[in-house]
Amino acid sequence: MSKPQPVAVTTPTENEKSYEEEHVHNVYQTIASHFSDTRYKPWPVVEDFLNGLELGSIGADIGCGNGKYIGVNPNVCILGSDRSSNLIQIVRDRGFEGMVCDGLNTPYRTDAFDFAISIAVIHHFSTPERRRSAIEEILRVVKPGSPILIFVWALEQSKFSKRNFDKTQQDVFVPWMLSTAKTNNDEAAVEESPKKVYQRYYHLFAQGELDELIVETGMADISRSGYDRDNHYVIAIKK
Amino acid sequence: MRLITHNMLQCHVKNCNDNNFPLRLEEVEVELVEADFQPEFLQNIIGKLEWPAFVNTAVQLGNTNLPATIPDNAKDNEEFLKVLHTALLETHVQQGKMVCPNCSHVYPIKDGIPNMLLAEHEI
């Protein structure tokens, strides 16, 4: 069976918050455990960024998911946060520390951190204004002169089949197939059990779009940007 | 939640911008969890803390071992670094609440996890 393909959607012009609640927050709450099982390998660009930090740096991982980056570099302190309490419980159960908060309104002091990362998070906000606000919030909490690293899904995807995917459509639902079997002990049962499909909302970023949003904030200079594993990323320095 | 995390937090309720740090800890259950002692890490962390807030918070948890001001020889003072290590990195608040000194908003901590989500009207 081929991989599930994204479906183009039209985003609402009001009540964006409840739209994201239904198509992002609630989905992650439901798929948290299965999602976490598929997210264990750190991406090299993120790993290099974290390993290049000064000993004793303190930073924030905003939208940390299952916390896979929190322990990458034991010489720095990373405070994880995510909107999904089920994902944060997984962080806690792995022996790391996390808190539940909203990426648009974090509880951190202004200029508190030496760095911040937000990996595969900003693409879940459904309007350009909200995506920019999320970036502004990340920049607010780091000290002037400090770096942030942001990853978002790219419109230029290798894993979506060209036949099904219209490259002019940036707002999509990406299906997540969750087995309805209760236990993972019997793989055959899981494999044969009916799957329930959960649709997650994504905004797929075109080349240069993340850079533009960051520049628009007026709060940072771009240090480096690139494309890796179907994502665009930017390292920016707070002014 | 460790105190290093608490030291980075402020109340973020809409229009609560003054006297919103540090959040007061109340009705807490604390657990000490051993962590590797890394003197160099601590030496670099000291200057990044809001020291008086950190000391006051430790006192709220019954830890009165921290000096009111950072000692001049802090970086070479192993006894001090060990006290700092315990308070900052080994003291975990497992249950309780954080209360804003300004607007009295309550942020619950359950099973070690602070819930910092706000209601719609508070954003």
CA B97, B98, B102, B103 dihedral sign is negative
> With 50 as the cut, is the pLDDT of residue A1 above it?
no
Bridge pairing between strands B91-99 and B106-110: antiparallel
Report DSSP state, residue A143. Answer: P
How many CB pairs lie under 8 A apart between chains A and B? 81
Q: How far apart are CA A5 and CA A17, in angstroms?
A: 25
Contact list, A116 vs chain B (CB under 8 Å): none
> Closest-CA residue in chain A for B109?
A99
The total of other beta-carbon atoms located within 10 Å of residue B84's CB is 24
Contact list, B85 vs chain A (CB under 8 Å): none
Mutate to test the interface with A, among B34, B36, B90, B116 (most CBs of A within 10 A): B116
H and E: helices and strands count for chain A = 7, 10
The CA distance from A188 to the nearest CA of chain B, in Å, is 35
A39 touches A65 (CB < 8 A): yes
Report residue A182 as tokens: 């209760």
**Architecture (CATH level 2) of domain B3-122:** Single Sheet (2.20)
Q: How far apart are CA B43 and CA B22, in angstroms?
A: 22
Q: What strand order describes the sheet that includes A171-179?
A: A7-8, A171-179, A195-203
Question: What ipTM was estimated for this complex?
Answer: 0.96
Position A193 scores a pLDDT of 64
Do B116 and A89 make contact, defined as CB atoms within 8 angstroms? no
Bridge pairing between strands B113-114 and A147-153: unpaired
> With 60 as the cut, is the pLDDT of residue A80 above it?
yes
Torsional class of A38: left (φ above 0), alpha (ψ -120 to 50), beta (otherwise): alpha
* Residue type (1 letter), A200: R
Residue A113 at interface with chain B, using a CB cutoff of 8 Å? yes
> What confidence tens digit (pLDDT) does each residue in A67-76 have?
999 999 999 9
> With 90 as the cut, is the pLDDT of residue A62 above it?
yes
Closest C-alpha to A151, from A33, A65, A77, A23: A65
Mutate to test the interface with A, among B1, B2, B4, B5 (most CBs of A within 10 A): B5
Report residue A95 as tokens: 């022996």
> What confidence tens digit (pLDDT) does each residue in A103-125 have?
999 999 999 999 999 999 999 99
> What confidence tens digit (pLDDT) does each residue in B30-86 have?
999 999 999 999 999 999 999 999 999 999 999 999 999 999 999 999 999 999 999
Report DSSP state, residue B84. Answer: H
Sorted by where each begins, the domain ranges of chain B are: 3-122
Report residue A154 as tokens: 């790219």
